[in-house]
Amino acid sequence: MVASLAGLVACLLAFHDVVPNRVGRLGSLLETFLPWLGLAIPVLLGATVLRRSFVALLALLLPVVAWLGVFGGLLRPGDGTPYDLTAVAHNVSDENRDPAGTARALMEVEPDLIALAELTPPALPGYAETLASTYPHHAVRGTVGLWSKFPLADVRPLEIRPAGLGADWNRGLRATARTSRGDVAVYVAHLPSLRLGLPDGFGSARRDESAALLGAAVAAEQLDEVILLGDLNGTVDDRGLDPVTSQLGTAGPGFAFSWPATLPVARIDQILARSATVTRVWSLPATGSDHLPIAARIRF
């Protein structure tokens, strides 16, 4: 029994993409919490010790190898890797009562780019005034914004609104950052939220539709170097984000779980890049949001 369960865990880790998504989007649900399958290993080890089964002990190597094969790269240190800029992405929450304090917290890591989601008109001045001295260039479209140490040009809304949502749903922007290394396309996006419950199961249909639109925009981008910042409401393992993650390099060392802030179990806030490498990603201390901010170092 223990050996069979060990084999099942190993198969789910290594072949999670074969779990069907047609019913309740079970595949995406599994992929959202995929790293946590590793918790089954110590449980199975305990059962193996109690049963004193050599066969079960050998079988336990399968999920260990599978987990390390999928996530082992995130465990390596990344502090010493050279980088060209630092970026921060944060869903600040539309219920955040301390915009100025949140902005100051994000500035602690001295990022070159700061992307915010869930901006509201009453809170926007608090962020803008606090960030203005260090980030003279900024753009806001709908409920997302970008603050930059670099001049910004070609700023425009990003059309990622899924069908059925009103014209007031604006959660994306695209800008050109004039860096010392040349022009870089910067995308800021906040994809639709997920819903878990009956009868739909893992309700990601709108998120997936928005991800397809975002992926199409990235594919059409003329600049080679692209940075995507934002709350994608999905992990990089979630197949629903394939239109995006198939084009952009996922983050380097670090799990950087970002949600929920009180007990983070998944990184649904992302910093991804094309023609560049995200050399490290990490979570920042909690703010007044239900998400943790994430920071990343990027090398061109």
Q: How many helices (H) and strands (E) does the chain have?
A: 8, 13
- Residue 286 token pair: 């909690």
- Residue 195 token pair: 């819903």
| Residue 110 exposed, middle or buried by CB count within 10 Å (0-12, 13-18, 19+) | exposed
- Residue range 293-299: mean pLDDT, rounded: 96
Would you give the end-to-end CA distance of the chain in angstroms?
A: 49
Query: What is the sign, positive or negative, of the torsion defined by CA atoms of 259, 209, 27, 274?
Result: negative
Q: Which residues contact 238 (CB under 8 A, 6 or more apart)?
A: 28, 31, 32, 204
Strands 172-179, 137-141: pairing is unpaired
Q: 65: part of which helix (H) or strand (E)? A: helix 54-71
More confident residue, 294 or 1: 294
**Cβ proximity of 279 and 252 under 8 Å:** yes
Segment 30-81, tens digit of pLDDT = 999 999 999 999 998 888 888 777 787 888 999 999 999 999 888 877 667 8
**Cβ proximity of 30 and 84 under 8 Å:** no
Sheet order of strands, 137-141 included? 137-141, 144-148, 113-117, 85-91, 294-299, 277-283
pLDDT for 260 beyond 90:
yes
Count Cβ atoms below 10 Å from residue 90 Cβ, excluding itself. 28
Segment 123-136, tens digit of pLDDT = 999 999 999 999 99
Segment 196-224, tens digit of pLDDT = 765 566 778 999 999 999 999 999 999 99
Segment 107-155, tens digit of pLDDT = 999 999 999 999 999 999 999 999 999 999 999 999 999 999 999 999 9
**Cβ proximity of 258 and 264 under 8 Å:** yes
Dist CA 117 CA 123 (whole Å): 12
> Which residue ranges make up each domain of the chain?
2-75, 85-299
What's the pLDDT score for residue 160? 98
pLDDT for 226 beyond 80:
yes
CATH no. for 85-299: 3.60.10.10
Segment 13-29, tens digit of pLDDT = 999 999 998 877 889 98
Task: Convert 172-222 into a string of H (helix), E (strand) and C (coil).
Answer: EEEEEEEECCEEEEEEEEECCCCEEECCCEEECHHHHHHHHHHHHHHHHCC
Which residue type occupies 92? V
282 CA to centre of own chain: 11
Q: Which residues contact 148 (CB under 8 A, 6 or more apart)?
A: 112, 113, 114, 135, 137, 138, 175, 177, 186
pLDDT for 178 beyond 70:
yes
